[in-house]
A and B are shown apart, each in its own frame.
Chain A
């Protein structure tokens, strides 16, 4: 069980400050996802933990030991890279053995560890193949297998699913979740820009924006109580509706937020009157984009394949207990919840 702790960690490249005063405490065995838009510093944060970048200021502790100046390989960390980064000229077996050879393990030990990892990931059948002879999903497994054999205390994933097609991505996501269950003692840190991956995999999510930690919490905490307008917009799919102007002012806030699933649609009465401009039917849900007179464009989720015509006149009512209010700086406004 390895805890990971970051204390006032800063990183700058030349004069560009990428991360500012990051403070995080990850518990041993936790699955933590760093999520944020591109350029928010989430990959940099991961690389600082891995030791691939130097920490400009602050401390990184793993299991209570300061790791700032420890070589990457000595930190007890494995990393799965976005492009898998398999060694193209080595077979699957050699790829997995390389790190263990560097650690000067006996060849029996190496074989045993690889056999165990290969078994777990069901890659035993192509141990003698080169990476170019494998499909994307198989390469992904080999990359994970290579990381497992090192028996790390902390497992790092850098956007591991972004090179896979949609169907495979869902399968691999489930496998990573299963892997986390099997390696319950291993702390896992996972970087992604996809909030669905974050919501489904994480014990806790760290939302990063422009080099700052916006919020840390369980997926449902972030969904129910976003600490900023940024988090509110980033977590949840499709995005929360943000309404400015009269409606927000009426609640004493600069921005009025309501998720599509928290708006009731009615054909005869409601708070906001509007016209349906566009519908997206997904089978399980239908999303209607409604152009309202008072609140502007509002996206509404309807359960099932709701037959609603474009151009139809409808009424919308936000559920009063699901309203989020933000001030001009994007901070939540409390105590003004009355609808």
Chain B
């Protein structure tokens, strides 16, 4: 005995609706709040009531917020570029070159991502100080590699293993050096996987809070998650929700745009296990 078709359809779309609401409602509410000003903030409403951009205007004219966005873009972009470069060269070695301790090395790389941030924080702080990177954006680029590299290396190694060895051998016969093979053969073939992992790394770096809070000390150096958390009102009793929400919306948009741009790449990256010659 099976349920009638309409029941199945309804059940399916109800479930979809629940998931969509769960995922999107918080952001929708942030957008709604960011467009309201003054006392209107505290009226609970679920449909747009007013359209007031003053929160955005005050955030962006505030001086350092623009600089902070640039900081975030810089940190996340540089982290992604360096991670991908290191990961693709590392995965070439890990996937294609036989050497003693290869399996152990892969496990070690994975285990790096096992430590909670808070556990490595104080040690990392000492390192950052020792390298003279305190209050420099490079301290974040450096420390974010701890969590971006293990997974970019692992994902790219898996993808590279799936590429037929004969393609590489054909390139060797054609006289290509290892670096040429990586640049002309592997990078184009692994491009979907690189976009996917790069985007995930970008999101992680963009959202990271704890390291950014610890290693940077001045407003002008801060990245946006910390900056938003530290937005304060005129007195300690006032939380400027309007500004916070406007800033949150502003920092979410780049991610949404990136995902939309690379959407098709991501899908093919997630499914492109079989690269057929």
Count of residues in A whose CB is under 8 Å from the partner chain: 27
B166 touches A85 (CB 8 A): yes
Name A99's contact: one of B166, B173, B188 (CB within 8 Å). B173
A79 / chain B contacts, CB cutoff of 8 Å: 169-170, 173
Name B277's contact: one of A71, A77, A86 (CB within 8 Å). A86
B169 touches A81 (CB 8 A): yes
B185 touches A87 (CB 8 A): yes
Task: Say if the beta carbon of B48 comes within 8 Å of chain A.
Answer: no
How far does the alpha carbon of A81 sit from the alpha carbon of B166 in the complex, in Å? 7
Interchain pairs with CB closer than 8 A, number: 65
Task: Say if the beta carbon of B102 comes within 8 Å of chain A.
Answer: no
Count of residues in B whose CB is under 8 Å from the partner chain: 19
How far does the alpha carbon of A86 sit from the alpha carbon of B277 in the complex, in Å? 6
Which residues B1-53 have CB closer than 8 A to chain A? none
How far does the alpha carbon of A72 sit from the alpha carbon of B167 in the complex, in Å? 15
Task: Say if the beta carbon of B275 comes within 8 Å of chain A.
Answer: yes
| Binary per-residue interface labels of chain B (167-181) against chain A in the complex, 1 for a CB within 8 Å, 0 otherwise | 101111111100010
Task: Say if the beta carbon of A182 comes within 8 Å of chain B.
Answer: no
Name B174's contact: one of A73, A83, A88 (CB within 8 Å). A73
Closest to A82 in B: B166
B189 touches A85 (CB 8 A): no
Closest to B187 in A: A89
22 residue pairs bridging A and B, Cβ less than 8 Å apart? A50-B173, A52-B169, A52-B173, A71-B175, A73-B175, A74-B175, A78-B173, A83-B164, A83-B166, A84-B277, A85-B166, A85-B277, A86-B277, A87-B170, A89-B189, A98-B174, A98-B184, A102-B176, A102-B180, A103-B175, A131-B277, A150-B174
19 further A-B contacts with Cβ under 8 Å, apart from A81-B166, A99-B174, are A52-B169, A52-B172, A72-B172, A83-B166, A85-B164, A85-B167, A85-B169, A85-B170, A87-B167, A87-B171, A87-B185, A88-B189, A88-B275, A88-B276, A88-B277, A99-B173, A102-B174, A103-B175, A150-B174
How far does the alpha carbon of A82 sit from the alpha carbon of B166 in the complex, in Å? 8
How far does the alpha carbon of A74 sit from the alpha carbon of B185 in the complex, in Å? 20
Task: Say if the beta carbon of A132 comes within 8 Å of chain B.
Answer: yes
B172 / chain A contacts, CB cutoff of 8 Å: 52, 72-73
A39 CB to nearest B CB, Å: 18
How far does the alpha carbon of A150 sit from the alpha carbon of B189 in the complex, in Å? 24
A102 touches B166 (CB 8 A): no
Q: A52-B169, A85-B166, A87-B185 are in contact. Are A102 and B276 (CB under 8 A)?
A: no
